[in-house]
Amino acid sequence: MDKNFTRAIKRKTMVLSLLSMLLALNSWSVIAQELRVSGTVIDQDQGTPLPGVTVLTKGSTVGTTTDVDGKYSIALADENSVLVFSFIGFKTSEIQVAGRSVIDVSMALDITALEEVVVIGYGEQRRSDLTGAISSVKSEDIKNLPAATVADAIQGRVAGVFVTASDGAPGSQPNINIRGPGNLTGVQPLYVVDGMPFFGTGFNFNIQDIESMEVIKDASAAAIYGAQASGGVILITTKKGSRSQKIQAGLNVNYGVRNVFNLPDLLDRDQYIRAQVASGVPQATFDADTIGANTDWFDEVYDPAIEQNYTAYLSGGSQVSNFYASFNYQNVEGTRVGNSINRYTLRFNSDHKLSNWLTVGQTIYGGFIEEDPASPPNQGELSFRNSPLVPVRDATNPLGGWGRDNGSQRGNVIGEEWANVREDETYTLNTSAYLEVEIVDGLKLRSNFGANLQNYNRYFFDRAFDFGLVQRVNETFGRRFTTNRQLLMNYLLTYNKTFGDHTISALAGYEARRDKFSSIEGDFQNPLGDLVQDSRLSANAVPNSLQFTGRDNFRILSQFGRLSYSFAGKYLAQVNIRRDGVASVFGPGNKYGTFPSMSLGWRISDEDFINIPAVSNLKLRFSLGELGNFQGVGEFLFEESYQEGFVTDFGGGLNQGFGLSDQLPNRDIRWETIRTTNIGLDIGLFEEKLSLSIDAYKRTTSDVIYQVPLPATAGLGDEVQLNIGELENMGLEFFAEYRDNIGEVQFSVGVNGAFNQNELVTLDPSIEDQQIFGGRINEVYSNAQPLRSVPGEPLGQFYGYIVDGVYQTDQPTGPTVNGDTPLAGDLIYRDLNDDGIINDEDRDFIGNPWPKLTYGITLNAAWKGFDLRMFFNGVQGVDIYNGTRSFEHMLFNDYNTTAEIFRTSGFDGNEVTNLPRPTLRNWGQVSDFHVQDGSFLRLKNLQIGYQIPRSVLDNVKISSARVFVMADNLFTITAYEGIDPEIPMSGEPTDDGPLVRDRGIDKSTFRYPLSRLFSLGLNIEF
């Protein structure tokens, strides 16, 4: 059972415990104290002290309560007395004293008494009453994780939530997808923090402030958020302290070192010269007397990096108020040279019950980020385009002193990092306040106001440099300022009442949201010094360029409601409805959308005919609902727009002309509609030692929007967005957890997994001849697009040639590829139409980048103060297009490569091998030779901790202390031959992130490599 919920129960009983203590003190005055018994009461499952436990002498009012450390002391008149230990949520224990003076007690959870409360949209609900597909993640599950974002923290912990790291750069935001693709571009989940939508929860959010997270996956639960919830909802509740809690302070410290792993080994100087000569470059080109460098560029670029994270917090409360305050500092150095990120955050949350009918509260979160981002060369973070014959430094170079390559345009990757100075600052303020009035018993009116403010400031300075053929003579500096503002206000009227066996809960709400964005950027050339930050210190009187943009037209106006009904806690029903209006996206006839849902639940275990002692919970759930979507849809597509025209001069000077854009408007563009049906089963066995949950769902997106290309004969723009088809996702999710103890060893095992299959069902008949291609690999493949989406298939399937092996001899009559006759060592491409020519007509589907199964495994154990936590995540049944192999097996243009080139057919005297000749015919064509199984199992996080004994801590006035060692990304089990099998979406980015249909392409050269962390940590409470 969840430790956080146990803690909540303890807090709620503090007042009763204090009253019991007063009664006990009054009774002690009349007792003849012949015997004093003391001891400690702990949670049997967690091994933690239980404060507030009532200890009474059976048959009397003599008693006491345990203190914050779980300790108690009681005076007895009879050594044969029986002590009764009771605490809400735990089984009552009766123990015969039998003359003992020390009695320690372990109390077991009473599952039947627990009714965990979880957060749902605009309210709370007992978990036993849930009818939708909602998964929870508690603060203890993510405590001390080196997770930079919320998405990192829930990776692999929630069935149906597919999270992949975008890259290993400090502060990077992962890709997140809930229950498969929602449309052709991708829909992101809505983040709601303490009831207010958030500007995303990237690196500017401290996950150590989180009390709990709920992930809403089906439309029945998400419909209360309407169109904003099409990608799912992640509800985040931050810590607030509790009433009747004594002030508690704490400190969490984590310090570690990161290292990149599994990087390819580039050819050194001698290998490089050998490979070049074998490729036909004359040996005389390489003069051993003048070539003194032997540079390992990856070794120069990547180094071990320090990561440190410190959080200090204070919480407490009284009968009137409660509060939580925290400060966090996190520093992450990049494993790539010349980049790092620092984050400072402050949070203050509080609630105040001013009277029996009036409660107010607020949350304030402020964050500041300063970042030195990486400045990779054009070839990406992991560039093969560096020669080992070029030194990093050259003292004779007057512009920077960098090593020069006069034979190509490769540049100097270290020099480029130095020459491109970037200093980014981000200021964030998120605040909300509420006022709640209880009008009559059960009827409440709540008003909420929230503001999300974010300012971004970039300073850049581009130094002059000389890298040989690549040079920059003019220096440039400038700034960019961006401001985001989001305001939200809602009013909620709620009614909760129980009439006998009938419980009714109703909600009615009104909400308005407004977003505003503005940006200004300018730059100057020829500064009068290095790293100049004042435009007046430029040789140019006017800026080289100046532009500003802004937007203040995005608004959402919503009305919503919910009705929940429960009969005897067995028969459950809920109805949600929301109406959203987004005027800037859809035209006057389509700007409003209405999104209903309903769900039913049946607690079968409460029926009289279920008389199985092992079954403690059995609930069947069914739901269906509808959502809308506007993510990925441009604004004002329904009307004509203006664009810059010709510059004219009619005698009064030059004037910029404007005219109607050639973009064809679509006045009929309408909401994408997402319909979901879900059936679920929750099972609890052996007093909830074993808990199971299974969900099956079908989600259909109709009126899918796509940017359809227009023929040139249309004379109006290149493309137009249309509602063109239908997309379907079907899946099965499961979760299982077992908790128990063997002697003094407590342990738990949790497993979650999700099967998902998506299909592009139909396309509008008018565009069925349109071929939806996507994706890019790298420059070896030129502009090839390896992904294709067609009706009847999943989105973005790999599409290319099928390979039937390697030719063992020259084939003068074999099928030609781009006019080339196959030679020994070339790949055998299947001629699907038997016309003797390999061309686009011979392509077919060659792989699926969508995994059949995603899963996570959690293992926890504790023994005598020691604890072990292991978390695995993985995917099964997924294909990856290994685009990096081409760089590793051939000398493309002026690039370096690896020793794998010496294993290829026909190279440097080789016979035919299992690797084709190092030519573009083999390594630059999209084929299934480069498609590999990307299944993997990764030990994502390992923690080993020790709880320092209280006997030691009492001397230093510390309540508790835990020290631990931790490793992140410790090892990966996979058959994949690339650098890392965790491949993110890789398509061209949109305003809402990368295209969801462009995934599974390993472009490691353009990706900051992931790293492995080893760290030490300390958790202290005072």
For 426-460, what is each residue's pLDDT tens digit? Answer: 999 999 999 999 999 999 999 999 999 999 999 99
Average pLDDT over residues 80-87: 85
pLDDT, tens digit, 9 for 90 and up, residues 405-420: 888 888 899 999 999 9
> For 44-82, what is each residue's pLDDT tens digit?
777 778 887 888 888 666 778 888 788 898 888 788 888
Give the range among 254-263, 496-505, 607-616 with minimum mean pLDDT. Answer: 607-616
Per-residue pLDDT, averaged over 383-402, amounts to: 91
Q: Name the band, by pLDDT with cuts 50, 70 and 90, for residue 17.
A: very low
When the pLDDT of each residue in the chain is averaged and rounded to a whole number, the result is 86
Number of helices and strands (H, E) in the chain? 11, 55
Whether 994 has a pLDDT exceeding 60, the answer reads no
pLDDT given at position 92: 81
pLDDT at 572: 96
- Best CA proximity match to 65, nearest among 13, 20, 106, 9: 20
State both tokens at 586. 């859809």
Residue 58's CB is within 10 A of a number of other CB atoms, namely 13
* The predicted structure's pLDDT at residue 3: 40
103-127: pLDDT as tens digits:
999 987 765 434 677 888 898 888 8
pTM value surpassing 0.75: yes
Q: Please report the pLDDT score of residue 993 as a whole number.
A: 45
C-alpha–C-alpha distance, residues 727 and 230, integer Å:
14
Structure tokens that stand for 656 in this block = 């910029």
Q: What is the pLDDT of residue 657?
A: 64
Q: pLDDT, tens digit, for every residue of 564-580?
A: 999 998 999 999 999 99
What pLDDT, on the 0 to 100 scale, is given for residue 774?
Answer: 85
Q: Residue 688 and residue 616: Cα distance in Å, rounded?
A: 6
Angstrom distance (rounded) from CA 237 to CA 198: 12
Closest CA to 60 of 81, 39, 40, 79: 81
Whether residue 27 is predicted with pLDDT greater than 90 in this model: the reply is: no
Q: How far is CA 270 from CA 266, 289, 393, in A?
A: 11, 13, 20
Q: Residue 620: is its pLDDT beyond 50? A: yes
Is the model's pLDDT at 779 over the cut of 60? yes
205-215 pLDDT, tens digit per residue, is 899 999 999 99
Task: Tell me the mean pLDDT in the region 290-316.
Answer: 92
Pair of tokens at residue 116: 């965990």
Residue 839 vs residue 43, higher pLDDT:
839
- 305-317 and 321-333: which strand pairing? antiparallel
pLDDT of residue 50: 84
Q: State the DSSP string of 933-948.
A: E--EEEEEEEEEEEE-
For position 4, what pLDDT does the model report? 41
Each residue's pLDDT tens digit, 796-815? 999 999 999 999 999 998 89
Q: According to the model, what pLDDT value does residue 31 have?
A: 35
**How do residues 930-957 score in pLDDT, each as one tens digit?**
999 999 999 999 999 998 887 788 778 7
CA–CA gap between residue 327 and residue 310 (Å, rounded): 8
User: CA-CA distance, 827 to 214, in Å (whole number)?
Assistant: 51
Share of the chain above pLDDT 70, in %: 89
Kindly list the distances between the CA atom of residue 109 and the CA atoms of 55, 484, 683, 804, 861, in Å, as whole numbers in the listed order: 17, 48, 18, 62, 18
Dihedral, 974, 977, 979, 985 alpha carbons, nearest 10: -80
pLDDT band at 533 (very low <50, low <70, confident <90, very high): confident
Q: What is the band of 715 on the pLDDT scale with cuts at 50, 70, 90?
A: low
Residue 15's pLDDT band, with cuts at 50, 70 and 90, is very low
* Percent of the chain scoring above 90 in pLDDT: 54
Mean pLDDT for the stretch of residues 76-89? 80
Question: What value does the mean pLDDT take over residues 590-607?
Answer: 92
